[in-house]
Amino acid sequence: YKPTATQGLDIPGLLSRMMFYQIKKLIVFLVKSLVAAGQVVLPQLLGLYEVETVENFIGEFL
């Protein structure tokens, strides 16, 4: 068995692996960004919108 030049350079496989790696990196980056943003934003939201504020807010719409 001798691999031919094309088999040695599995271009589609290589590309799909690279794509998968890039997509995985992107997803990890997005998740980390969301978590970081959540840690910053959530306490502020919880601080701003306490129960009374939320009730008033809902009351205006109902």
Contact call for residues 57 and 49 (beta carbons, < 8 A): yes
What are the C-alpha distances in Å from 45 to residues 34, 48, 56, 59? 15, 5, 15, 19
- Cα–Cα distance for residue pair 38/40, rounded to 1 Å: 5
pTM comes to: 0.47
Going from the first residue of the chain to its last (62 residues), give the mean pLDDT of each consecutive group of 10, the final group possibly shorter: 61 86 93 86 72 71 70
Instruction: Provide the pLDDT for residue 45.
Output: 73
Element (H, E) at 4: none
